[in-house]
């Protein structure tokens, strides 16, 4: 099919490249000419493992433009993948969505076309986009343009695997639109495509579930899923706080409860809390929607409160040992909100650095991939860049591990703490798994490292 993707951010770029790999002719449209020129040169503006390889393989089916008049008229399916950033009141900013819908409407050519809300949008947005299409299409006819909700469930860092081997494909709308979406996704639904070597099909994977619903239910599914995962993480962190006080180990606790199939192990990792563009925004939006209808959602409100408290807990642990932070050198390892991405949105490290700035500490930060992006997006913060984790640690009074990069897990921490002025590590992601051989204070979330015994030392 001919497919147009409006918006080439994390969701739009991943969706477009995946559909091109599956054999569709894809036009990626963005109003940022610099981004489009980069994509034409084969340069990817985001970091996502394997995406550059998939882009290279799908290049023949991909085209890039800033021109709606070129991208819209001949498209069979048009995906809206623009940003919906949160506003101060928790409501998403829908100006980009509205602008995209209006520009799409003005360039429809009269044939049957499906317009897909892929962006995470408030409940009711499908009907709203339908009205925009109706009001601004040049020659509008009923039953010619179908709006479908097809929310994404991608995790940054594993987006290719999530795209090619999804748990489920959710399609919301009327039957005529859903038929075309099934045709579009047929290679995914039947898993009939050749799996890339660098993103192999999981051994136990069969085919995704296809969930067909109304527009409203599809929109609710997206918000409810993200809010539930946010709640699960906040629950683990709340239990971790109690574990610290009674002497339990959060890793042992979550392992024990996770074997219950009703609970599962995923999204129970205690640490600095969740970040990124989805959990906080979507949970807040769901609470706001409830407020619009006079319906309070105290459980979700508590999830946000616990998550924010978790960030304060990390600084509290630092102050417990250093007391005054003014003039102290603190290394922050990890800037992206999670490993295997350069996405800085709502990253815990941002809040750590901002608080350390207020407290007068000197901050030295390192991240394997996100530092270049941070130069642009975190220009309001004061910190020094370190070329390596070792450079950040050297001479530090304390280290905060803010992102669980594999690189940090593999560090020889016995060696690293020897280079510090004061051997204090606030391991906010519980990446240090063994007690150290050298004197050091290691603060973790919800547990304490076991003490090394004499027998361990001899071994």
Please name every residue paired with 425 in a beta bridge, in sequence order, or none if there are none. 399, 442
Q: Contact 352/326 with Cβ under 8 angstroms?
A: no
154 is in an annotated binding site: yes
Q: What is the largest CA-CA distance in the chain?
A: 83
180 is in an annotated binding site: no
DSSP 82: -
328 is in an annotated binding site: no
| Token pair recorded at residue 323 | 């007391």
4 is in an annotated binding site: no
Of the residues 123, 278, 300, 331, which is catalytic? 278
31 is in an annotated binding site: no
270 is in an annotated binding site: yes
Cα separation of 39 and 122, whole Å? 30
Q: Contact 421/329 with Cβ under 8 angstroms?
A: yes
Q: Contact 448/433 with Cβ under 8 angstroms?
A: no
Q: Contact 37/14 with Cβ under 8 angstroms?
A: no
278 as an active site residue: the answer is yes
254 is in an annotated binding site: no
35 is in an annotated binding site: yes
9 is in an annotated binding site: no
Of 331, 426, 447, which Cα lies nearest the Cα of 384? 331
| Token pair recorded at residue 184 | 């579009």
153 is in an annotated binding site: yes
155 is in an annotated binding site: yes
338 is in an annotated binding site: yes
- Beta-carbon neighbour count of residue 133 at 10 Å? 22
Distance in Å from the first CA to the final CA of the chain: 63
* Residues annotated as catalytic (active site), given as ranges: 278
**Binding-site residue set for substrate:** 153-156, 222, 267-271, 275, 338
**Binding-site residue set:** 30, 35, 84, 120, 153-156, 222, 267-271, 275, 281, 338, 345
**Binding-site residue set for NAD(+):** 30, 35, 84, 120, 156, 281, 345
């Amino acid at each position: 099919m001919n497919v147009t993707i409006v918006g080439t951010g994390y969701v739009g770029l991943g969706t477009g490249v995946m559909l091109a790999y599956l054999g569709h002719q894809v036009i990626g449209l963005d109003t940022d000419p610099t981004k489009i020129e980069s994509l034409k040169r084969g340069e990817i503006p985001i970091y996502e493992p394997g995406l550059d390889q998939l882009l290279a393989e799908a290049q023949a089916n991909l085209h890039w433009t800033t021109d709606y008049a070129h991208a819209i008229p001949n498209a069979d399916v048009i995906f809206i993948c623009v940003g919906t950033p949160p506003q101060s009141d928790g409501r998403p900013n829908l100006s980009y969505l509205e602008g995209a819908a209006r520009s799409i409407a003005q360039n429809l050519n009269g044939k049957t076309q499906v317009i897909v809300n892929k962006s995470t949008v408030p409940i009711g947005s499908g009907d709203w986009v339908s009205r925009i299409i109706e009001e601004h299409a040049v020659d509008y006819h009923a039953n010619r343009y179908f709006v479908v909700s097809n929310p994404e469930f991608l995790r940054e860092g594993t987006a290719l695997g999530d795209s090619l081997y999804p748990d489920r494909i959710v399609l919301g709308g009327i039957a005529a639109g859903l038929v075309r979406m099934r045709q579009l996704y047929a290679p995914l639904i039947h898993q009939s495509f050749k799996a890339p070597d660098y993103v192999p099909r999981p051994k136990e994977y069969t085919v995704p579930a296809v969930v067909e619903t109304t527009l409203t239910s599809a929109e609710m599914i997206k918000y409810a899923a993200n809010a539930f995962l946010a709640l699960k993480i906040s629950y683990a962190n709340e239990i971790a706080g109690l574990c610290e006080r009674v002497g339990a180990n959060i890793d042992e606790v979550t392992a024990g409860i996770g074997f219950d199939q009703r609970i599962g192990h995923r999204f129970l990792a205690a640490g600095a809390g969740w970040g990124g563009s989805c959990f906080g925004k979507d949970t807040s939006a769901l609470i706001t929607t409830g407020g619009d209808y006079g319906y309070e959602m105290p459980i979700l409100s508590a999830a946000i409160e616990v998550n924010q408290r978790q960030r304060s807990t990390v600084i509290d642990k630092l102050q417990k040992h250093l007391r005054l932070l003014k003039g102290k050198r603190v290394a922050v390892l990890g800037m992206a909100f999670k490993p295997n991405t350069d996405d800085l949105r709502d990253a815990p490290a941002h809040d750590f650095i901002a608080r350390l700035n207020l407290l007068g500490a000197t901050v030295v930060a390192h991240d394997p991939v996100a530092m270049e992006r941070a130069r642009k997006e975190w220009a309001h913060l004061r910190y020094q860049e370190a070329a390596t984790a070792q450079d950040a640690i050297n001479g530090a009074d304390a280290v905060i591990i803010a992102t669980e990069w594999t690189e940090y897990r593999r560090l020889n921490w016995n060696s690293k703490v020897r280079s510090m002025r004061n051997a204090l590590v606030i391991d906010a992601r519980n990446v240090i798994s063994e007690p150290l051989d050298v004197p050091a204070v290691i603060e973790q979330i919800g547990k304490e490292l076991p003490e090394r015994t004499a027998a361990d030392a001899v071994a």
